[in-house]
Amino acid sequence: MSLQLKVRLLGFASGTPLLVLDDTAAYSLGVRPHDRLLVRRGGSEVIAVVNVAQNLPQDIALVNDEVARALGLENGDVVEVLAVQPPRSSRYVRAFLSGSSLSYEEVRAIVEDIVRNALDEVELAALVTAANQRGLSIEEAYYFSRAMVETGERLDLGVSPVLDKHSIGGVPGDKTTLLVVPIIASLGYYIPKTSSRAITSPAGTADRAEVLMPVNLTLEEVRRIVLKVGGCIAWGGALGLAPADDKIIRVEYPLAIDPFLVPSIIAKKAAVGATHVVMDLPVGRGAKVKTLEEARNLSRILVEVGRRMGIKLACVATLGDQPVGLTAGPALEAREALSALLGEGPADLVDKAASLAGVLLEMVGIASGKAVALEVLRSGKAYLRMREIVEAQGGDPDVKPQDIPVGDKRFTLRAEREGMVIWINNVAVATAARLAGAPKDKGAGVELHVKMGSVVKAGQPLLTVYSEHSAKLQAAEEYLKTTMAVSVGKPEESMVLAHLHYEPLISLEH
Amino acid sequence: MSLQLKVRLLGFASGTPLLVLDDTAAYSLGVRPHDRLLVRRGGSEVIAVVNVAQNLPQDIALVNDEVARALGLENGDVVEVLAVQPPRSSRYVRAFLSGSSLSYEEVRAIVEDIVRNALDEVELAALVTAANQRGLSIEEAYYFSRAMVETGERLDLGVSPVLDKHSIGGVPGDKTTLLVVPIIASLGYYIPKTSSRAITSPAGTADRAEVLMPVNLTLEEVRRIVLKVGGCIAWGGALGLAPADDKIIRVEYPLAIDPFLVPSIIAKKAAVGATHVVMDLPVGRGAKVKTLEEARNLSRILVEVGRRMGIKLACVATLGDQPVGLTAGPALEAREALSALLGEGPADLVDKAASLAGVLLEMVGIASGKAVALEVLRSGKAYLRMREIVEAQGGDPDVKPQDIPVGDKRFTLRAEREGMVIWINNVAVATAARLAGAPKDKGAGVELHVKMGSVVKAGQPLLTVYSEHSAKLQAAEEYLKTTMAVSVGKPEESMVLAHLHYEPLISLEH
């Protein structure tokens, strides 16, 4: 049951070795889409996932770069193809679909096959969907965390403790990390922070930091920089830490579910060797976690899975009802973070950063952690350390907030009536910033002039959109005209809102 | 947020409009794999699913034939691409994942988007997996059946009643349809039978029938032939009946789950206008349904969903512990079916066909249906009608069983010891037949010389493998040497097997 097929190169890499053949050839081989073929030439072979086309010559196989590279193929080369059984992990995925729990060995096989692209996207989508329907057990979450770490690169600093901070995200404008890292590093601790780029938000931490310094570091550069200046802010995407995670997210994203959230977070932290982690869970209407109850449940699982992985973890629920600080968008946020390090930050941002840093410091034995954090901010010690980090990563340490360019096309949204700001719509702020060009256009974004609880008069500016292009500014402006981004209530309604003001953080499950 | 990209044609059709672009271009557009892009040129546009490659020039878009055809593209043409929201049905799939029941309107939108390839495979895999985890409600099964029928072609014979027969499959050698169709047609009823080709078995009904006559008919040919001679046996794959079903099966198959079994069956029957259907549920160790309890549950759902679709349906549980008759493989089975129509059929095949036809006849008011069916078999009336059907479909009505060529490479498996045949392994028989070349090589297959309960001496032939190619025969032979295809027990063990002999059919839920 094998065929000799003439190769045509597709000319692109797509992650998984892929072979497209005609319907009739597939029928001869007894394979269907998503089955596997062994593709052979000379002494080399590779397993490819089958795609079926309806209109190819029967003796032609289209192959992507993964197949071509594995076998050194050029157009016109002849390969032998034959059907093979799906990998062991396909069976484990099927068992999971039919209700079985997964053992560590099974999880390990699945994760290995995800990493080497032996599980195809239909199987991966089924795994993710079934995990979403059933929920992962604590054991399974631990097994996935462990297997994800073990199948990827790891950072070994050779020191202890190693501190880290993570936010599950969902709130625009959250540049807290740009303060926490220099605060912690300025106190002599190691914090090798890796961050993501924006997926659906106007800026990820890597996008913000990139305004100040290069963030595409290698693992070796991360190691060298952190050992030298105590901290870094690197883009995690190219470091190869827990690579299965990235592939799982690729399938979770279009389905808008994230059943692997816990292993995904814990694995990334374990892969950098973190021993103490503070985890920010923003809670609020526009955030990922809607209620404190949800945050408590998630916290319990994170702490327990972290414990099994040897990580001491503290979860902190923070107010996620409005953006953090006053800005959303890479350059605007980099400006605001730098201002905060220079003593000019908005109260909520400074409080949040000092609180999270404080929890982390207390975890390693520093009393009054928040006060200590506020002091290194006030004294300029954290700013000086940030200069060293920026310089070590190859940025300009002398850059001032006002030096950072922002978009010169602007639109200001104004209050239609007098009243109190009762809600700021995170999704609307994020969408307006993205329409204006963020995160790709670094200078695009939104600056808020008010926060929840602000009292405004009719005509007073609520927010300004910045863009580098008139057409994008216009798209954001049109969007804001049909969306309630900032809700202004009557003054007499304001009473009930008191408890929504910024409050001390609620710490969960140390 | 749009880009101008230069087109390179991939040169194949893959079902869904597909556009491959580079990572960086995808980031600029704010799209990720499985997102949708609107692709425009001149006045035309098409929605394509995004695939991301890591090593393409940033200004290049690779497009498959679906995109090229929609826009009349040639290599080097420039298209405008921009991100668009996923279709409405993506939201319904997400709602289903999060536990919502689906309304008819939502199911209809999902099915429409499956048919026009607007839902991509990750979403389809998620839908199928979630349906498997939760189970479809009776309402949802009915909604899917209805939507599948309404979004496809329909056969309108303009007569009533319209009879039909279906088996959920899973037993090799089941050529019952080749007897039931002429029996029913010879009694003046209409039976427009559409069948599938083999997926994992050595022969589907379409593969068997194709040995006797062309089966690739158009819907108009089906109509004409059935109105003329009462029945047909056509390949259903190209008729466009309930086309969503074929796409769902494409995703169910690699996951080895079939949560859409009920709507899938009911929709195909409703699409040919069937008013009365007999449904065969083979039950046994090697069959799809393992226990009578399972068969009863499935039957209840089939009958109820059928009722809502206006179809009177009777389910019959049949013994599925061993192949039906003595042969598996297209030509061997066509021979056996023709012999049975000529009065020389194995007892179990004849009994099964007459029983199923009998249930169907009784549903339309014929008393003693099975006796009537046996009588038209015995009298040769059914054979004469089969000749007319074969002729109407363009086959040779004069063909005799011995005229049908079978593979001349043969291997016979013999009993190692004396005893009674206690089990015939369906999977092993099917695998041996497939290794020998079935269903592609029509002459390949397996002929059994014994059935369960047969008493054999050491050295007596158990089965013969037929093949058209020595290498394939050898593969089948090697496989059979390491697999227990036919289990022979000691004579004194035979007592306990009495109840596994062929028994009267058990009718469920008329």
Report the CATH fold assignment for B163-242+252-401.
Pyrimidine Nucleoside Phosphorylase; Chain A, domain 2 (3.40.1030)
- Name the pLDDT band for A510 (thresholds 50, 70, 90): very low
Quickly count: other Cβ atoms within 10 Å of residue B292's Cβ: 14
Name the helix (H) or strand (E) containing A5. Answer: strand A2-9
Per-residue pLDDT at B25:
86
> How is A252-283 classified by DSSP, letter by letter?
HHHHT--TTHHHHHHHHHHHTT-SEEEEEEEE
Assign domain A163-235+258-401 to its CATH architecture.
3-Layer(aba) Sandwich (3.40)
Q: What is the mean pLDDT of residues B365-388?
A: 97
What DSSP designation does B162 have? B
pLDDT digits (tens, 9 = 90+) for B440-493: 899 999 999 999 888 899 999 999 999 999 999 999 999 999 888 998 887 554
Per-residue pLDDT at A491:
54
Q: Is the pLDDT of residue B220 over 50?
A: yes
Q: Is the pLDDT of residue B229 over 90?
A: yes
Taking CB atoms and an 8 Å limit, are B254 and A55 in contact across chains? Answer: no
Q: Is the pLDDT of residue B372 over 50?
A: yes
Q: Is the pLDDT of residue A507 over 80?
A: no
- Whether A164 contacts A302, CB under 8 Å: no
Q: What is the mean pLDDT of residues A86-106?
A: 92
- Name the pLDDT band for B500 (thresholds 50, 70, 90): very low
Per-residue pLDDT at A291:
85
Task: Give CA–CA dist A217/A241, Å, rounded.
Answer: 13
Q: Is the pLDDT of residue B41 over 50?
A: yes
- Name the pLDDT band for B250 (thresholds 50, 70, 90): confident
Question: Which A-chain residues 249-308 have CB contacts (< 8 A) with chain B?
Answer: 250-251, 253-257
Residues of chain B with CATH 3.90.1170.30: 404-496
Q: What is the mean pLDDT of residues B272-278?
A: 97
Quickly count: other Cβ atoms within 10 Å of residue A343's Cβ: 12
Per-residue pLDDT at A422:
83
Q: Is the pLDDT of residue A505 over 50?
A: no
Q: Which residues of B touch A33 (CB under 8 A)?
A: 250, 254
Cis-peptide into B439, omega within 30 deg: yes
- Name the pLDDT band for A1 (thresholds 50, 70, 90): low
Q: Does A86 touch chain B (CB under 8 A)?
A: yes
Is the CATH number 3.90.1170.30 carried by domain B404-496? yes
pLDDT digits (tens, 9 = 90+) for B404-430: 999 999 999 999 999 888 889 998 999
* N-terminal to C-terminal alpha carbon distance within chain B: 60
> How is B198-227 classified by DSSP, letter by letter?
PSSSS--HHHHHHTTS-----HHHHHHHHH
Q: What is the mean pLDDT of residues B288-292?
A: 85
Q: Which of B498, B497, B435 is nearest to B469 (CA)?
A: B435
Rounded percentage of chain B residues whose pLDDT exceeds 90: 69
Q: Known catalytic residue: B120? A: no
Per-residue pLDDT at A290:
86
Q: Is the pLDDT of residue A409 over 80?
A: yes
Q: What is the mean pLDDT of residues B337-363?
A: 94
Q: Is the pLDDT of residue A503 over 50?
A: no
pLDDT digits (tens, 9 = 90+) for A107-116: 999 999 999 8
Task: Give CA–CA dist B315/A363, Å, rounded.
Answer: 66
Question: Which of A69, A91, A119, A129 is most worth mutating to test chain B (most B CB atoms within 10 A of its CB)?
Answer: A129
- Whether A23 contacts A52, CB under 8 Å: yes
Per-residue pLDDT at B1:
65
Q: What is the mean pLDDT of residues B266-277?
A: 97
Residues of chain A with CATH 3.40.1030.10: 163-235+258-401
Residues of chain B with CATH 2.40.40.20: 2-84
In the numeric block, which tokens belong to residue A495? Answer: 């009473």
Q: Is the pLDDT of residue A204 over 60?
A: yes
pLDDT digits (tens, 9 = 90+) for B20-40: 998 888 878 878 877 889 999
> How is A456-494 classified by DSSP, letter by letter?
E-TT-EEEEEEESSHHHHHHHHHHHHTS-SEEEE-GGGG
Q: Which of B13, B34, B133 sits opposite A254 (nearest CB)?
A: B34
Query: Three-state SS for A209?
Result: helix
Per-residue pLDDT at B491:
54
Q: What share of chain A is helix, strand, coil (3-state, %, to 5)?
A: 45, 20, 35
Looking at the DSSP bridge assignments, the partners of residue B8 are B62
Q: Is the pLDDT of residue A504 over 60?
A: no
- Whether A119 contacts A72, CB under 8 Å: no
Assign domain B2-84 to its CATH architecture.
Beta Barrel (2.40)
Enter the ipTM: 0.77
Taking CB atoms and an 8 Å limit, are A30 and B122 in contact across chains? Answer: no
Q: Which residues of B touch A123 (CB under 8 A)?
A: 125, 254-255
Task: Give CA–CA dist B96/B108, Å, rounded.
Answer: 14
Looking at the DSSP bridge assignments, the partners of residue B165 are B278
Q: What is the mean pLDDT of residues A227-250?
A: 93
- Name the pLDDT band for A377 (thresholds 50, 70, 90): very high
CA distances for A438 relative to A198, A331, A435, B22, B23, angstroms: 9, 9, 7, 19, 17
Q: Does A62 touch chain B (CB under 8 A)?
A: yes
Model pTM score:
0.83
Task: Give CA–CA dist A175/B298, Å, rounded.
Answer: 56
Q: Does B54 touch chain A (CB under 8 A)?
A: yes
Catalytic residue among B65, B246, B258, B408: B258
- Name the pLDDT band for B329 (thresholds 50, 70, 90): very high
Mean pLDDT of chain A: 90
pLDDT digits (tens, 9 = 90+) for A50-59: 888 877 888 9
Q: What is the CATH number of domain A405-496?
A: 3.90.1170.30
Query: Which residue is closest to B134 within chain A, CA to CA?
Result: A133
Q: Which of B35, B120, B255 sits opposite A126 (nearest CB)?
A: B255
Q: What is the mean pLDDT of residues A21-45?
A: 86
